Copies of this chain bind each other. A is one copy, B any other.
Amino acid sequence: MPEDHRSGCPINLSLEVFGDKWSLLIIRDMIFGGKRHFRELLRSEEGISSNILADRLKTLMEVGMLTKSDDPTHKQKAIYSLTEMAIALVPIMAHLGAWGRRYLPVSEELSIRAELMEEGGPALWERFMDELRAEHLGAGFTEHGESSVRERLQKAYEDVLARKAKGRKVAG
């Protein structure tokens, strides 16, 4: 009997899984950043340290949100993949992003993705989740060349950066 839980409340159990300051950021970087390797994840916007990252990857694998496999191109590289359980967090990410954008002091370039996710609504989320399934659960790397949701979000992010740099050049 699993009495290592504080209660059987779904919200509580969810928090027991990712109720900390890092777990969801790792998932975020895998979903929105397309990161699959340890050292990629180490270069997070927020600067996670390697021992914490190792620990979180381990527990995320234990709860079934991630899987790990060998990279055929490099004997030392590991590839982390999202499971359906983690891909199912996309709508929560979208809501979290929308909420943060509304109530917290976000930066423009880092919230453009949240804005587009909010605008796109459930239809966009579903498409994104399908792409993630192909990428993480499909047979190997199913690249479908055309513009994926992640690529569109990434482009919007870079456009904001470019516009801000330009504005700074003109104004400053």
User: Contact residues of A with B, CB < 8 Å?
Assistant: 2, 5-17, 19-21, 24-25, 28, 45-47, 64, 85, 88-89, 91-93, 95-107, 109-111, 114
What separation, in Å, do the CA atoms of A102 and B15 have in the docked complex?
14
A-B contact pairs, 11 of them (CB 8 A): A2-B105, A8-B111, A9-B28, A10-B99, A10-B111, A14-B100, A15-B21, A88-B102, A91-B95, A92-B92, A92-B96
Majority secondary structure, A binding face: helix
What separation, in Å, do the CA atoms of A16 and B9 have in the docked complex?
23
Q: Which of A11, A16, A85, A106 lies at the interface centre, i.e. has the most chain B CB atoms within 10 A of its CB? A: A11
B20 touching A21, Cβ below 8 Å? yes
Which residues does chain B contribute within 8 Å of A100, judged by CB atoms?
A: 9-14
What separation, in Å, do the CA atoms of A160 and B114 have in the docked complex?
38
A11 touching B93, Cβ below 8 Å? yes
Given contacts A11-B114, A104-B14, contact A46 B89 (CB under 8 A): no
- Please give me the 7 A-B residue pairs with the lowest Cβ-Cβ distance, nearest first: A8-B107, A10-B100, A6-B46, A13-B104, A14-B100, A9-B110, A7-B45
What separation, in Å, do the CA atoms of A47 and B9 have in the docked complex?
13
